[in-house]
Amino acid sequence: MSHSHRWVLYGFVLVFVLVFVTACGGGGQQQTQQPASQPSPPTTEQPAQPPAPAQSEEEQLIARGQYLATSIGCTACHSADGTTLVGPTWKGLYGHEVTVILPDGTETTVIADEEYLRESILNPNAKITKGFQANLMPIYEGQLNEDDLKALIEYIKSLSGEHSHE
Ligand code: HEC
């Protein structure tokens, strides 16, 4: 191989190396364009709830009173169907006459209005229903809050057997 051929060969090698380095080292600047971040999908609207069957405030109270009467335990002694248990039935109680014995032994007649129901629940011994024993019913004074008391009274009222909605 002549000297001139050898230089040509070196030239090729040099060019080759330069091209190689440029191709590998210089390519690093290319920026890959990030795809624009997707906007979060719009929150899917909840389908509107079908309207609950309209229940009046009174009906809600009655339902709550009925639930409380069972959960507190009133129904162990009081029926809603006329059956006499340990205590008088609540059926037909509200708005009707009740014969009671006062603490001094006097027998008298009262109308079972809201005030009477309230007193009978909070302080059962204030007026003992004739034919029933005193001191059997627990004293609920301080045990029931006003809302529960109202619900229970409303429930008992609903058992009056009359459709007198004031
Ligand atoms: C352990 C049995 C017992 C439990 C429990 C009981 N009672 Fe009584 N209740 C009686 C008895 C006995 C009488 C009748 C004697 C009297 O007037 O205290 C009575 C009377 C009543 C009266 C008057 C009824 C009437 O005809 O004059 C009402 C109202 C009443 N209870 C409501 C309730 C409520 C509300 C509850 C629950 C929060 C309850 N009672 C829990 C035994 C009970």
Evaluate if pTM is beyond 0.75: no
Using DSSP, state whether 77 is helix, strand or coil: coil
Neighbours of 93 (CB within 10 A): 21
What is the overall mean pLDDT for the chain? 84
Choose which residue among 71, 77, 96, 115 to substitute to test ligand 1 binding: the one with the highest number of ligand atoms within 8 A of its C-beta.
Answer: 77
Distances (CA, A) of 42 to 45, 76, 143: 9, 55, 51
Query: What is the structure's pLDDT at 25?
Result: 55
Query: What is the structure's pLDDT at 103?
Result: 95
CB-based burial label for 137 (10 Å; 0-12, 13-18, 19+): buried
Please give the structure tokens belonging to residue 145: 């809050």
Residue nearest to atom 22 of ligand 1 (CA): 120
- The pLDDT tens digits for 40-85 are 666 666 667 767 677 899 999 999 999 999 999 999 999 999 999 9
Question: Distance (Å, rounded) from C-alpha 16 to C-alpha 23?
Answer: 11
Query: What is the structure's pLDDT at 17?
Result: 52
Choose the CATH number for 57-158 among 1.20.1290.10, 1.10.760.10, 1.10.30.50, 2.70.70.10: 1.10.760.10
Query: What is the structure's pLDDT at 1?
Result: 52
| CB-defined site of ligand 1, < 6 Å | 72-74, 76-78, 86-88, 93, 98, 112, 117, 120-121, 124, 128-129, 132-134, 136-138, 140, 152, 156
Low-confidence ranges of the chain (pLDDT < 70): 1-4, 7-47, 50, 52, 162-166
Instruction: Name the residue among 157, 161, 154, 165 with its Cα closest to residue 94.
Output: 157
Counting atoms of ligand 1 from 1, which one is nearest the CA of 152?
35
Is residue 95 a contact partner of residue 164, using CB atoms and an 8 Å limit?
yes
